[in-house]
Amino acid sequence: MTTRAVFLTEPYGAYKHTAVPREDSELTHVGPGTPCGEYLRRFWQPVCLTSELTDLPMAIKIMGEDLVVFRDFSGQIGCLELHCPHRGTSLEFGLVSEKGIRCCYHGWLFDTDGVILETPGEPVDSTMKDRLCHGAYPTHEFKGLVFAYLGPTELKPAFPVYDTYHWPGTRIVANRREYNDCNWLQIKENSMDPVHLSFLHTRTAGTQFTDEFGVLAELEFMDTPVGMTYIATRRVDENVWLRMGEFMLPNIHQFGANMENGRVEHPRQPPIMCQWAVPIDDVQTVKFSYRIIPDGIDDIPSIVDFGQINDRPYEERQRIPGDYDALVGQRDITVHDLEHLATSDVGVILLRNLLRKHIRNLLEGQEPVPAPTDDNGLTRTNASDTVMHIPAAPTEPEDVILLRETGLKVAQQYINNPQQLPKSTD
């Protein structure tokens, strides 16, 4: 039972703020058996970069579970419980082997699926290895990222391939691992809070994005087959710039270039990033992403990385805070009952409602339905930037209506008639 904080109505009233409400555990706790943790476990989650798998195993923690990932010398990737089932030694000190990983302590050998291949210290007639299995999760390697599925084996979904992995004229590259010292939900809420682009990234903390982001957009929100999208429409002289950012269930989002300025007319452009916020535990999160890089350039501008991790001196972070500082600054787990949500928080409210609905559906026994795929096996998404030549309406109120109607109409077209993309090859 949580208690809402007092809505203070008088100056010098902090003394009345003695109630300390708890966080919203239904949406924020991710350990095994928690409602949100069980929901997130129904989906493939990135757990490391392919490049991080060397001849040494790697200890990781995902949703409160200590695990070890490794690629054995036959090329198979394992994701096993970290602690050896014999007497608990950490397999991060194990020996990656031709087949599986061998515990350093007494030499038990585990295959990538958890089957115990050898127990060399036991009598030859021991049946221990035939009776016992070590805990393992299925893995899937895709374009520089290693994914694992931490849910019930019999419910393992197909690995989703999003259309942005195959967008003509682009390629995807796995990005660095980024740590945030906060709960996973506030990272995803940030993706449905386009108003912060006009403040944190433009007006209040130096210009991290183009000046045009400083103009408050006309905002609409819409459900999509994979989650929800915001539709931010701005006037830039004779152009209408339409930006869509999309939250994709359960913990992914895609967003467009922060160097866009809406000044040059162009058709729908794909997002620059597809990003997961994978909980390490309730108060730490690791972000993995694919950059979606247009052909002809080496990489997207590094400004997109500004302020995403704790990599700057404290004073600089105070003077020019980035997303990391704003999000971690909300506390390690934001306490919803201490917030005062306002008009600009519509996206955050809708996102929480959407997640809560799916989490509760699962609690009631309704398994998540995979997002639809097209004839080529691709899952369609909608994040994009489009700049159209549409001169302003005669008056400002009429132009606001024009912007909103244009945004909704074009967004609906994208959702209803996705661009035809080549067949998925991998």
| Residue placing its CB nearer to ligand FES in the complex, 98 or 315 | 98
Q: Determine which residue in the list 2, 25, 50, 89 makes contact with ligand FES, applying CB under 6 A.
A: 89
- Number of residues this chain uses to bind ligand FES (CB under 6 A): 9
129 touches ligand FES (CB under 6 A) = no
184 touches ligand FES (CB under 6 A) = no
In this structure, the strands spanning 285-294 and 273-279 are antiparallel
Stretch that binds ligand FES, among 17-25, 85-93, 151-159, 367-375 (CB under 6 A): 85-93
In this structure, the strands spanning 252-255 and 239-248 are antiparallel
Round to whole Å and give the CA distance between 220 and 422: 30
Query: Which partner, Fe ion, ligand FES, none, binds residue 103 by CB below 5 to 8 Å per kind?
Result: ligand FES
86 touches ligand FES (CB under 6 A) = yes
424 touches ligand FES (CB under 6 A) = no
Least distance from ligand FES to the Cβ atom of residue 83, Å = 8
Least distance from ligand FES to the Cβ atom of residue 71, Å = 20
DSSP state letters, 6-62: P---SSS-GGG----PPP-HHHH--STTSHHHHHHTTSEEEEEEGGG-SSS-EEEEE
Query: Which partner, ligand FES, Fe ion, none, binds residue 105 by CB below 5 to 8 Å per kind?
Result: ligand FES
Q: Determine which residue in the list 61, 106, 156, 268 makes contact with ligand FES, applying CB under 6 A.
A: 106
Is the distance from CB of 185 to CB of 37 less than 8 angstroms? no
Query: Which partner, Fe ion, ligand FES, none, binds residue 257 by CB below 5 to 8 Å per kind?
Result: none
Least distance from Fe ion to the Cβ atom of residue 218, Å = 19
Task: For Cα atoms 34, 50, 160, give the angle at the middle one, nearest 5 degrees.
Answer: 55
323 touches Fe ion (CB under 5 A) = yes
Is the distance from CB of 43 to CB of 30 less than 8 angstroms? no
Stretch that binds Fe ion, among 53-61, 116-124, 181-189, 317-325 (CB under 5 A): 317-325
Closest by CA to 141, choosing from 77, 188, 194, 90, is 77
Least distance from ligand FES to the Cβ atom of residue 102, Å = 8
103 touches ligand FES (CB under 6 A) = yes
Least distance from ligand FES to the Cβ atom of residue 128, Å = 11
60 φ, ψ (degrees, to nearest 5): -135, 165
| Residue placing its CB nearer to Fe ion in the complex, 93 or 199 | 199
Instruction: Give per-residue burial for 216-254: e unless 16+ CB within 10 Å, then b.
Output: ebbbbbbebebbbbbbbbbbbeebbbbbbbbbbbbbbbb
CB-based contacts of 110, cutoff 8 Å, min separation 6 = 78, 80, 91, 100, 101, 102, 103, 116, 117, 134, 136
Query: Which partner, Fe ion, ligand FES, none, binds residue 323 by CB below 5 to 8 Å per kind?
Result: Fe ion
Q: Determine which residue in the list 39, 44, 70, 108 makes contact with ligand FES, applying CB under 6 A.
A: 108
| Residue placing its CB nearer to ligand FES in the complex, 68 or 387 | 68
Interaction residues for ligand FES, span 55-84 (CB under 6 A): 84
Least distance from Fe ion to the Cβ atom of residue 186, Å = 12
Structure tokens at 181: 């010292």
DSSP assignment letter at 346: H
257 touches ligand FES (CB under 6 A) = no
DSSP assignment letter at 117: E
Tell me the residue ranges of DSSP E strands in 177-319.
178-180, 218-224, 227-236, 239-248, 252-255, 266-269, 273-279, 285-294
Residue type, 350: L
Residues at the site binding Fe ion, with contacts judged by CB under 5 A: 323
Q: Under the rule (CB under 6 A), what is the footprint of ligand FES?
A: 84, 86-89, 103, 105-106, 108
